[in-house]
């Protein structure tokens, strides 16, 4: 079933949701949010695309098979955890780099925790989309 209203609405919503999902992912660093919720929001974006224009076009927009995204995410999350080995810490110990830190400012903090969260984001998004696409294509 094609609907002009859904299709034109989707154009805005998909872009908005994808941007918002990245915002949620980054915000989760210190505030409510994070990889899991970000991944869900991002998946909703592609799901709307699939509902409005068919799974074919959503798959095309995604470029990569969603199950591959999920597995790659698992790998990224795991590598973020293994990174701690280089510094002699236990698995999944967060490693931090404060760029331009001074006495009274933390500068720009970069961490493996964020990399882990990106992995979670990809796992959640990939897994949800694998399920939803399979269900859509079945029907």
Q: What share of the chain is helix, strand, coil (3-state, %, to 5)?
A: 70, 5, 20
Q: Which among 94, 121, 128, 124 has a CA at the least distance from the CA of 25?
A: 121
Q: Check binding of 95 to other proteins (CB under 8 A).
A: no
Nearest distance from C-beta of residue 81 to other proteins, angstroms: 8
Task: Determine the interface stretch with other proteins among 25-33, 34-42, 47-55, 63-71 (rule: CB under 8 A).
Answer: 63-71
Nearest distance from C-beta of residue 55 to other proteins, angstroms: 19
User: How many angstroms separate the Cα of 135 from the Cα of each of 31, 94, 130?
Assistant: 34, 38, 9
- The two structure tokens encoding residue 135: 């269900």
Q: Check binding of 115 to other proteins (CB under 8 A).
A: no
Nearest distance from C-beta of residue 91 to other proteins, angstroms: 4
Q: Which residues bind other proteins (CB under 8 A)?
A: 67-68, 71-72, 74-75, 78, 81-82, 85, 89-94
């Amino acid at each position: 079933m094609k609907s002009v209203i859904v299709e034109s609405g989707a154009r805005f919503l998909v872009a908005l949701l994808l941007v918002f999902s990245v915002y949620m992912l980054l915000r989760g660093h210190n505030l409510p949010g994070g990889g899991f919720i970000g991944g869900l929001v991002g998946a909703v974006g592609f799901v709307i695309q699939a509902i409005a224009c068919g799974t074919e076009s959503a798959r095309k927009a995604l470029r990569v098979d969603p199950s591959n995204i999920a597995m790659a995410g698992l790998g990224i999350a795991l590598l973020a955890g293994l990174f701690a080995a280089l510094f002699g810490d236990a698995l999944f110990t967060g490693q931090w780099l404060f760029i331009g830190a001074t006495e009274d400012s933390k500068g720009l903090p970069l961490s493996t925790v964020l990399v882990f969260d990106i992995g979670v984001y990809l796992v959640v998004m990939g897994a949800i989309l694998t399920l939803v696409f399979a269900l859509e294509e079945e029907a």
